[in-house]
């Protein structure tokens, strides 16, 4: 038997007079994926309990042992959510960026058996636990839909990226059919793609700078195989907002035999008492003028090169703009380089920061969670994509929604740690003087272009607020999903 661990702080509800809906949630083992699915689970828990007096929910949230340790200091979920773990059979999160191919392969091949055994254990514990009613699993895992089929448990495929990126990956064979895979983006990245369902005409280089050049890429094959299995699920849940990508969702819905639920934006602000010893950044923000601070964060995974980081630090300092910077690495050197106008921290409650009145802009790597949180907070963005889906998110932010500006490069190529670039480094850099000039204009609340962008952002912010309000599209979709999982006999 595998070793599983239950979070004893959140004991399972004992079935009695009240009916218990048991959901098993399985995120992809990465910080942004875990955050998105946990936020959805918290939303499910609060909404189901509000809607049904005689019904409660139990969510078994499944992580690797390492990830349970890594999130151990996070705010505790409510009493309806408990943790169980899978053994550490995949490369550590601390080395994932340098072992991507091995990591993807291990996730695709080594977690399925222990997860299915965990389901057997849950099924055997009928005295204490109700039967599992639905599995909510990250779409990029793929294999949970097959496990659910074998166990006769419905599966909701949870997509934590943009709806457009789902269509790109689900219809990836069309790139090959149209002579766009494999290609060299340096030669053909400017060519337009107009054949992906639900997506506006887009330059190849704005879809991704990581997808197109290697036909034998192991990571791409694994990702595409996982996405292809979404069609075997019983539900599809998207972290996007219908109104932001309505053209895409209107095209997708007739393609699948199951319901599609856009339920974003997934947002939560942690208890102010959480990480109280680190909340001095909030006190600092409280002392700053309204809309005067640039928030800077490049995410929890990939990093820019040391050379590019130095240019950013010097450019920010030269701009004289107030800023709060979340830095996972090089915290001391960034603090020393940014000077008196900045506040540098290794962690922050991002949603709380983006909703703070002193924040006037967000320099972001364009992860999907960060993009949605910025729109929810009404904060215009400077986009600086580093990898994967972030390039197309940047394109949506800048060109489609017009709520941000891109930090321009002389050549579209992102510099990541651990990658050899040879003599190309110099020509790929965004220089400090360019950064300084752009940041000053971006944070100038009196600049006409900036005013127009700010007004557009307010419109999208209101759109998202309406979506999650009673009667809004996301609010309605969550209720519909809850009603469906309470009637499994329909499947």
Per-10-residue mean pLDDT of the chain, 491 residues long, equals: 46 57 96 94 87 83 96 76 96 87 95 97 86 97 98 97 97 96 93 96 93 86 96 97 97 95 84 55 96 92 82 95 90 83 91 96 96 98 94 97 88 44 60 95 96 97 96 96 80 46
- Confirm whether 209 is domain-assigned: no
**140 and 43 together in one domain:** yes
**Cβ 305 vs Cβ 416: under 8 Å:** yes
* Residue 177 pLDDT: 96
Assigned domain for 186 exists: no
CA distance between the termini of the chain: 31
Q: Strands, E, within 216-341: which ranges?
A: 235-238, 260-262, 293-297, 322-326
Residue 96 and residue 120 in one domain: yes
**Residue 185 confidence (pLDDT):** 92
Same domain, 148 and 76: yes
What mean pLDDT value characterizes the chain? Answer: 88
> What per-residue confidence (pLDDT) applies to 417?
44
Identify the pLDDT of residue 210: 84
Q: Note whether 342 and 255 are same-domain residues.
A: no
Q: What does the pLDDT read at residue 274? A: 45
Q: Are 460 and 474 members of one domain?
A: no
Examine residue 107 and state whether it is found in any structural domain, yes or no.
Answer: yes
The per-residue pLDDT for range 2-51, each reduced to its tens digit, is: 444 455 444 444 444 478 899 999 999 999 999 999 999 999 998 887 76
CA proximity to 235, closest of 481, 44, 487: 481
Cβ atoms of residues 58 and 22 within 8 Å:
yes
Residue at 84 is within a domain: yes
- Please state the φ and ψ torsions of residue 471, each to the nearest 5 degrees: 90, -10
Do 254 and 358 lie in a common domain? no
Q: How many domains does the chain have?
A: 2
Helix, strand and coil content of the chain, in percent to the nearest 5, comes to: 45, 15, 40
The domain in which residue 52 lies consists of 19-180+216-270+469-486
Tell me: do 122 and 76 sit in the same domain. Answer: yes
* Same structural domain, 91 and 163: yes
Give me 100's structure tokens.
């991507």
Q: Are 105 and 49 in the same domain?
A: yes
Both 353 and 453 in a single domain?
Answer: yes
pLDDT for 62-105, tens place per residue?
Answer: 999 999 999 876 766 778 999 999 999 999 998 887 888 899 99
pLDDT at 267: 82
Same domain? For 233 and 340 the reply is no
440: part of which helix (H) or strand (E)? helix 432-442
CATH of the domain at 102: 3.40.50.2000
Q: Is 197 a domain residue? A: no
Whether residue 312 is contained in a domain is answered as yes
Residues 290 and 234 occupy one common structural domain: no
């Amino acid at each position: 038997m595998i070793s599983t661990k239950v979070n004893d702080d959140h004991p399972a509800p004992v079935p009695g007079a009240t009916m218990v809906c048991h959901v098993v949630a399985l995120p992809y083992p990465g910080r942004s994926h875990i955050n998105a699915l946990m936020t959805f689970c918290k939303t499910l828990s609060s909404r189901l309990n509000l809607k049904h007096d005689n019904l409660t929910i139990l969510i078994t949230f499944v992580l690797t042992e390492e990830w349970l340790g890594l999130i151990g200091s996070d705010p505790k979920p409510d009493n309806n959510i408990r943790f169980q773990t899978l053994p550490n059979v995949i490369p550590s999160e601390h080395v994932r960026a340098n072992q991507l191919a091995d990591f993807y392969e291990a996730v695709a091949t080594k977690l399925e058996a222990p997860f299915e055994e965990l389901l057997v254990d849950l099924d055997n514990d009928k005295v204490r636990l109700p039967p599992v009613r639905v599995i909510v699993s990250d779409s990029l895992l793929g294999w949970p839909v097959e496990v659910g089929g074998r166990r006769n448990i419905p599966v909701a495929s949870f997509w934590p990226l943009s709806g457009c990126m789902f269509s790109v990956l689900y219809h990836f064979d069309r790139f090959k059919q149209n002579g766009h895979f494999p290609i060299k983006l340096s030669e053909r990245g400017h060519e337009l793609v107009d054949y992906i369902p639900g997506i506006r005409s887009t330059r190849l280089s704005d879809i991704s700078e990581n997808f197109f050049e290697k036909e034998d890429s192991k990571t791409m094959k694994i990702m595409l195989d996982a996405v292809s299995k979404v069609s075997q699920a019983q539900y599809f849940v998207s972290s996007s907002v219908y109104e932001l990508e309505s053209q895409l969702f209107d095209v997708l819905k007739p393609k699948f035999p199951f319901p599609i639920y856009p339920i974003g934006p997934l947002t939560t602000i942690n208890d102010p008492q959480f990480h109280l010893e680190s909340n001095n950044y909030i006190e600092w923000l409280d002392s700053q003028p309204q809309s005067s601070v640039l928030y800077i964060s490049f995410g929890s995974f990939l990093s820019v090169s040391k050379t590019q980081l130095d240019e950013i630090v010097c450019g920010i300092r030269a701009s004289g703009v107030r800023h709060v910077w979340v830095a996972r690495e090089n915290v001391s050197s960034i603090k020393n380089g940014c000077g008196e106008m900045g506040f540098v921290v290794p962690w922050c409650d991002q949603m709380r920061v983006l909703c703070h009145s002193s924040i006037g802009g967000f320099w972001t790597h364009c992860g999907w969670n960060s993009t949605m949180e910025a729109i929810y907070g009404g904060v215009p963005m400077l986009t600086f994509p580093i990898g994967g889906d972030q390039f197309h998110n940047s394109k949506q932010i800048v060109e489609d929604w017009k709520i941000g500006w891109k930090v321009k490069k002389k050549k579209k190529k992102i510099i990541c740690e651990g990658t050899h670039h040879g003599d190309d480094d110099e020509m790929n850099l965004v220089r400090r003087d360019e950064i300084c000039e752009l940041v000053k204009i971006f944070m100038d609340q009196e600049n006409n272009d900036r005013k127009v962008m700010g007004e557009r952002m307010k419109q999208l912010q209101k759109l998202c607020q309406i979506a999650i309000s009673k009667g809004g599209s996301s609010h309605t979709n969550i209720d519909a999903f809850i009603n469906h999982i309470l009637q499994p006999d329909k499947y």
